[in-house]
Structure 1
Amino acid sequence: VMAPTWSEVRENALTPFFAGEISIEAAVAATEKPVKNFMGKHSRNEDLRLFMKIGEETTRPANYEEIPLHIVAPAFIISELKT
């Protein structure tokens, strides 16, 4: 299920980083986008809303990539534990 996500991470973050083509900061940024997208798509909306409330996030994101990692990661974990 996660193979396409990790392929994107390898292609856009890991390979360029280990080749010395991008910085660690750029590699982290390139990793964050597909991982947040995957976690957001596989999180229950009620769990995302819960952590948005706990994190006092007042802006409604337009897509999963706009949700901060400190919100989407725990929502994903809780969603996985519930299913």
Structure 2
Amino acid sequence: MAWLTFVISSIILVIAAVKLAQYGDVIAVRTRLGGMFIGVLLLAGATSLPEMLTMINSFRAQTPGLAAGNMFGSNMFNMLLLA
């Protein structure tokens, strides 16, 4: 059962990645901002999505300390890794 879930999730991920790239190209052409700029924005949004969902779930579980730690920890790690 775990393999079936993995295969289905992988297929959905590939389809979503292809669609995201196509829509990114359309947005870049329509806004005339450039493909690289739109790509960076979409990549930033996609990589921040897990932290956002963790923060939402921690607030729903009434553990704001977990949300704050996740926010500061992930941002510090990203800055140290990319800088």
Rg (Cα) greater in structure: 2
Instruction: Give the structure, 1 or 2, with the largest relative contact order (CA under 8 Å, sep 6 or more).
Output: 1
Question: Which TM class, normalised by the smaller chain length?
Answer: 0.3 to 0.5
